[in-house]
Amino acid sequence: MPMYYFDTIATDGTSVRDEEGTNLPDLETAEREARQDAVTIACERGEGHVKTIVKVRDEHRELFTASAHFSVVVSTGSD
């Protein structure tokens, strides 16, 4: 199985390089995993405008980028 690496970058500039990698059966599975990771990380970041990028690479090069963008607005009810 191919090894894929999922590097993440958040709105605040925080980045994490995946040094361990994950064995997955194919590129399609890696794409699903990247989309899910981007959404999960963005949701965990809380309120405001949130953008998370997941860059996926193999042993040789970057393959693609997945991103999730959220704008969370908290409003108080008015009578």
Q: Is residue 42 assigned to a domain?
A: yes
> Max CA-CA distance within the chain?
59
| Residue 3 falls inside a structural domain | no
Tell me, yes or no, whether 1 lies in a domain: no
Q: Give the integer Cα–Cα distance in Å for 24 and 30.
A: 7
Domains held by the chain: number? 1
Residue 76 in domain: no
User: What's the start-to-end Cα distance of the chain, in Å?
Assistant: 59
Asked whether the beta carbons of 15 and 6 are under 8 A apart, the reply is no
Residue 77 lies in a domain: no
The answer as to whether 75 is a domain residue is no
For residue 50, give its domain range: 12-54
What is this structure's pTM?
0.81
One digit per residue, pLDDT tens: the chain, 79 residues? 899 999 999 877 889 999 999 999 999 999 999 999 988 888 777 667 778 899 999 989 999 999 988 776 667 766 5
The beta strands (E) that lie in 1-79 are given as 3-10, 15-16, 22-23, 48-57, 62-72
Residue 30 lies in a domain: yes
